[in-house]
Amino acid sequence: MADVIRAEWFDIDDAKRDDFINWYHGTYLPELQAQIGVNWVGNYAIVAPKGKGNPRKMETDDPAVPPGRDFVVLTAAPTVSVYFQKNNVIEALEAKFAAELGQRENYREAIFVEEESVPGPECRALPSGTGAPPAMQLGNYNTVTPEDDLELARWYRQERFPRLSVTQGMIQGRKLLSVAGWPKHGVLWEFISMEEEEDSFEPRFAAADRAENWQGRHVLEYVVHGPYGPHAGRRIWPE
């Protein structure tokens, strides 16, 4: 069964960061992981981009979309109901630790269901559903028109998906659709590691070119990313 994934983006004030992370990793995340209905949890330190990126990339400027970018927590569950049913364990845990969690800044969340999953060459390293990947890249974005959605669906299957099985270090790639949150679309690219000099996995996808010869528009011409997206980083919990 595919995971239902909750993504949480947030920042922490520098003066509070060490104490918060010690508490978060030592108390909160272990309790979250132990809840019935939670498959796995991973906290990721996001790597700040070293350059300006592709000039065609569009990001939302909606002030209602918080711009958290330093940390991304992924929580996986078997069904959407784990997050929304009455008296669910996650809301109870958040209420218990409301004061501590209130230290998070620029916080936002989205909950995604899996549209499709494609195995990479390292798929045996971490079979789907068995844990948080050691490194990942999370994209979250919207399109503008229904026609854009159609082209996006074709682009993934005709250009991006064929590359995943030969992308260096890739465990699997998941195309996601949101149940709740700002983005309609998401992707979770899972990797066995992220090199020290890397700030994105996009160069690996470029190197995996299989002469797909996509004839449509470039995807960056019509998708609008979440703030500072996509976010690539290394898992810092569990170690």
Q: What is the pLDDT of residues 63-108, one digit of tens each?
A: 999 999 999 999 999 999 999 999 999 999 999 999 999 999 999 9
CA distances in angstroms from 40 to 5, 14, 75, 77, listed in the order given: 10, 28, 6, 7
Six token digits for residue 138: 């999370």
Over range 166-173, report the average pLDDT: 97
What gap in Å lies between CA 217 and CA 148, rounded to an integer? 10
Reading the block at residue 184, the tokens are 């309609």
Q: How confident is the model at residue 116 (pLDDT cuts 50, 70, 90)?
A: very high
Question: What's residue 51's pLDDT?
Answer: 74
Question: Burial level of 133, CB count in 10 A (0-12/13-18/19+)?
Answer: buried
pLDDT greater than 80 at residue 16: yes
Neighbours of 163 (CB within 10 A): 20
How far apart are alpha carbons 39 and 180 in whole angstroms?
Answer: 19
> What is the pTM assigned to this prediction?
0.95
159 pLDDT band (50/70/90 cuts)? very high
Which domains occur in the chain, in start order? Answer: 4-237 (3.30.70.100)
Question: What is the band of 1 on the pLDDT scale with cuts at 50, 70, 90?
Answer: low
Q: How far is CA 195 from the centre of its chain?
A: 18
For residue 13, is pLDDT > 70? yes
Determine how β-strand 105-119 pairs with β-strand 231-237: unpaired
Average model confidence (pLDDT) for the chain? 95
The whole-angstrom distance between residue 84's C-alpha and the CA centroid of its chain comes to 20
